[in-house]
């Protein structure tokens, strides 16, 4: 292969990329693998349709777009690409009407105007009678997003001869929340230590930071919160702000804006004040000055994420104030620079409520309409805490005057952590498509957070990152799919789980249908499989204490009742489940009447939420015709059996995957099968002590006793 006139850095990168198929792959490249396409017909088609790259403008963002296209097109087609100034047949033209006279002359204003600053167009058209492809937008970052979408078409071997693609994000702020601590530990992190090396910053910019920004830009994520919501005030000091600036500078070309967590007591801890009362004039001034200082380092600083008055974190309630008082004080400090405040609704105080699921609604619903216009209330997808399955949070739809921001968890705190293959798109979609009924049928959670239901002008979605310094970024290779699908849904929540899995598999592994079909089916089933071997029929929060790893339905007698498992499943000789109807905690009353009517009756309540809303007798007959006890057992056993099928499916794909990644997933599936059996046997044996009923005929009996499982004490669980 000759590289005449190709820049030296591209010669190196192309040579490296071309060598990848000949060796193992450690997963570092994520879904941005630009190896030579194996399909010769597709390769020839792309070579004929893309003969040159024509760019205009030299901004940092357009520069990285050009470099990405040169690298990817060279790698995928086997034909070195470089920028040309001549528009010939097959030219790929990128730019905006503002910086490209060619694109300006195409008169695309009517198509571009509705797309906002981030949207893009990809069009097959003609220039001076020559067939070309155009990637354009209203801004440089839109061009970058469009460039990544175009490369996705090539990676997934789509027809590019007649393109007419128009795309714009449905949600404005699409943000990763890192729970990274300043000592580089990661709360609920299962992929190594934090990727932020504060010791070497600001002078050493690790290539991983740039690849992180590239990956996020490729799926439309436009913000990152660098630090844990259990905040450390030191991040707001000069010593750290110079390091934050270095990261912000590295991310800026990729449209990735930096946010920080604000510890509410910072005015006391690093400011020398005697109070952090949000209504105190000195405190307000301190935060205004601190915000101005941050903006002096990071002119496009996004704003603050705040966890307050929850799990011991300080907040406005320490001073007799409410959440709006605290959020508005911080919002005023960043408003003149366009900053926002994301105020988390995950709260519970020192007084144990009758039902923890009710507390956020109780505290925030009365405050609707009292927050500043640059405040988003960030609400977890469910009312407890990132469980394998929860109903949507009742706050969605209940605060029409306050923009609500979705918070999903990408890291698998309660989903088996990084030893379990769980594709979370079905979980995210289940929540987004759930009907709140607040304005009649069709009032989905997605319409709440994209602003269309209540006409929110400010919109946002956050995902708690699963990223660490492991070479493959996410610990489990398939954890990358959850990062990927979060970004794709943040851009367009109408995408199907099937489509996103298909894209990710093709870009990450191969386009061979013999691989795609079985592995995609495995991915799509994996979340339901996990629910069955962990928390079937609406059970929840029965994981190991504190570390949340492995089964622990027997946990009791802790400092707080709502830190135990028995608080949630309420198993007794009479039955099992948490009664949240009017005869119990009445948490159901926080939802719309139509939802209450459907879920309040066990006969019409979807079975996946049966024990979330109802306490039922062991012999209650479910839809399968079985008793509740028998159905619970069958769910546990089916879940464990499905993991065995997943392992067999993966084994059948060995011919299509390099040895390193194949063995990585194979070993983890072996672990997952053991863990699924552990969950199955431990939970069935424990709940049997209450039901007093035999394990149904045809199901193998556990080889260990309940006492054996009670004595299990995992000592090597990662993540703090």
Residues with a catalytic annotation lie at: 311, 385, 413
Kind plus residue range of the DSSP H or E element containing 461: strand 460-464
56, 101 contact by CB (below 8 A): yes
Rounded Cα–Cα distance for residues 489 and 493 (Å)? 4
β-pairing, 375-380 with 257-261? unpaired
Beta pairing, strands 173-177 & 375-380 = unpaired
**Phi, psi angles (nearest 5°) of residue 281:** -60, -40
| Pair of tokens at residue 245 | 């600036």
Residue 460 and residue 451 in contact, taking contact as beta carbons nearer than 8 Å? no
The CA distance from 132 to 50, in Å, is 8
What's the CA gap between 360 and 628, in Å, rounded? 31
DSSP symbol at 160: -
Q: What is the three-class DSSP state of 261? A: strand
d(CA 143, CA 131): 20
User: Two tokens at 69?
Assistant: 């296209």
For 562, how many CA atoms within 13 A lie in the half-sphere containing its CB?
18
Q: How far is CA 714 from the centre of its chain?
A: 27
Q: Rounded to an integer, what distance in angstroms lies between the CA atom of residue 343 and that of residue 305?
A: 6
Which of 683, 568, 707 lies closest to 633 in space, CA to CA? 683
- At CA 573, angle to CA 568 and CA 575, rounded to 5? 50
Look up residue 214 and give its two tokens: 């590239």
Length of the chain: 720
What does the alpha-carbon distance between residue 107 and residue 130 come to, in Å, rounded to a whole number?
17
Q: Quick check: 695 and 683 in contact, CB under 8 A? A: no
Burial (CB count <10 Å: 0-12, 13-18, 19+), residue 110: exposed
Measured between alpha carbons, how far is 498 from 536 in angstroms, rounded to an integer?
A: 23
C-alpha 223: how far from chain center: 12
Q: Which two tokens stand for residue 707?
A: 């006492």
Residue 296 tokens read as 């002096």
* 111 CA to centre of own chain: 30
Q: In Å, how far are 360, 571, 575 from 565, measured between CA atoms?
A: 20, 10, 15
- Residue 395 backbone dihedrals phi, psi, to 5 degrees: -65, -25
- Listed in order, strand segments (DSSP E) in 85-129 are 91-95, 120-127
Task: Please calculate the CA angle 514-517-519 and round it to the nearest 5 degrees.
Answer: 100
Burial of 577 (0-12, 13-18, 19+ CB in 10 A): buried
Contact 233, 264 (CB under 8 A): no
- CA atoms within a 13 Å half-sphere pointing along the CA-CB vector of 499: 10
DSSP state letter for 551? B
Cis peptide before 694 (omega within 30 of 0): no
Question: If you search the block for the tokens 């001034």, which residue do you land on?
Answer: 285
Strand 91-95 to 130-137 pairing: parallel
Closest CA to 173 of 346, 305, 370, 328: 305
Give the residue from 113, 133, 169, 110 showing the smallest Cα distance to 52. Answer: 133
């Amino acid at each position: 292969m000759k590289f005449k006139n190709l820049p030296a850095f591209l010669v190196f990168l192309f040579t490296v990329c071309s060598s990848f198929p000949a060796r193992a792959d450690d997963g570092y490249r994520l879904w941005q693998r630009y190896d030579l396409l194996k399909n010769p017909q597709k390769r020839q088609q792309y070579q004929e349709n893309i003969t040159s790259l024509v760019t205009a403008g030299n901004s940092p963002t357009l520069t990285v777009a050009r470099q990405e296209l040169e690298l990817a097109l060279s790698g995928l087609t086997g034909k070195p690409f470089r920028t040309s100034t001549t528009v010939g047949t097959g030219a790929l033209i990128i730019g905006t009407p503002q910086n490209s006279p060619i694109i300006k002359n195409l008169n695309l204003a009517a198509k571009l105007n509705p797309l906002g600053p981030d949207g893009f167009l990809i069009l097959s058209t003609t220039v001076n009678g020559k067939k070309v492809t155009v990637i354009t937008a209203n801004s440089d970052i839109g061009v970058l997003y469009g460039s990544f979408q175009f490369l996705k078409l090539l990676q997934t071997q789509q027809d590019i001869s007649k393109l007419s693609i128009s795309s714009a994000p449905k949600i404005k702020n699409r943000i990763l929340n890192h729970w990274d601590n300043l000592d580089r530990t990661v709360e609920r992190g299962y992929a190594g230590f934090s990727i932020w090396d504060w010791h070497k910053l600001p002078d050493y910019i690790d290539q991983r930071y740039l690849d992180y920004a590239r990956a996020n830009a490729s799926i439309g994520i436009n913000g990152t919160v660098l630090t844990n919501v259990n905040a450390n005030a030191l991040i707001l000091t000069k010593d750290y702000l110079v390091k934050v600036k270095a990261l912000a500078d590295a991310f800026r070309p990729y449209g990735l804006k930096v946010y920080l967590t604000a510890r509410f007591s910072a005015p006391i801890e690093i400011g020398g004040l005697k109070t952090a009362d949000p209504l105190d004039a000195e405190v307000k001034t301190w935060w205004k000055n601190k915000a101005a200082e941050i903006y002096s380092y990071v002119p496009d600083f996004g704003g603050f994420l705040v966890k307050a008055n929850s799990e011991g974190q300080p907040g406005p309630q320490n001073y007799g104030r409410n959440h709006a008082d605290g959020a508005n004080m911080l919002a005023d400090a960043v408003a003149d620079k366009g900053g926002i405040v994301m105020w988390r609704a995950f709260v519970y105080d020192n007084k144990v409520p009758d039902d923890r699921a009710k507390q956020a609604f109780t505290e925030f619903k009365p405050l609707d309409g009292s927050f500043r216009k640059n405040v988003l209330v960030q609400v977890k997808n469910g009312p407890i805490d990132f469980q394998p399955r929860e109903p949507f949070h009742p706050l969605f739809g209940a605060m029409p005057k306050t923009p609500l921001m979705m918070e999903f968890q990408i890291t698998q705190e309660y989903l088996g952590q990084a030893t379990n293959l769980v594709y979370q798109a079905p979980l995210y979609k289940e929540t987004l498509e759930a009907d709140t009924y607040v304005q009649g049928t069709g009032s989905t959670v997605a319409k709440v957070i994209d602003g269309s239901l209540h006409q929110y002008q400010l919109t946002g979605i956050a995902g708690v990152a699963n990223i660490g310094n492991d070479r493959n970024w996410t610990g489990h290779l398939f954890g990358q799919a959850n990062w990927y699908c979060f970004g794709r849904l943040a851009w367009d929540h109408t995408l199907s789980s099937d489509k996103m899995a298909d894209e990710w598999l093709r870009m990450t592994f191969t386009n061979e249908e013999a691989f795609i079909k079985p592995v995609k089916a495995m991915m799509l089933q994996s979340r339901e499989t996990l629910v069955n071997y962990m928390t079937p029929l609406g059970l929840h929060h029965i994981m190991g204490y504190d570390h949340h790893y492995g089964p622990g339905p027997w946990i009791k007698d802790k400092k707080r009742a709502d830190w135990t498992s028995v608080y949630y499943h309420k198993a007794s000789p009479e039955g099992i489940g948490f009664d949240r109807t009017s005869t119990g905690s009445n948490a159901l009353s926080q939802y719309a009447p139509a939802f209450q009517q459907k879920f309040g009756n066990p006969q019409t309540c979807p079975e996946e939420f049966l024990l979330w809303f109802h306490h039922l007798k062991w012999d209650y007959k479910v839809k399968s015709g079985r008793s509740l006890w028998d159905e619970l057992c069958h769910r546990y056993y089916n879940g464990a059996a499905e993991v065995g099928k997943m392992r067999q499916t993966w084994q059948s794909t060995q011919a299509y995957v390099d040895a390193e990644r194949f063995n990585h997933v194979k070993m983890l599936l072996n672990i997952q099968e053991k863990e699924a059996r552990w969950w199955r046997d431990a939970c069935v044996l424990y709940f049997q002590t209450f039901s007093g009923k035999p394990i149904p005929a045809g199901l193998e009996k556990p080889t260990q006793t309940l006492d054996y499982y009670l004595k299990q004490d995992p000592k090597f669980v990662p993540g703090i």
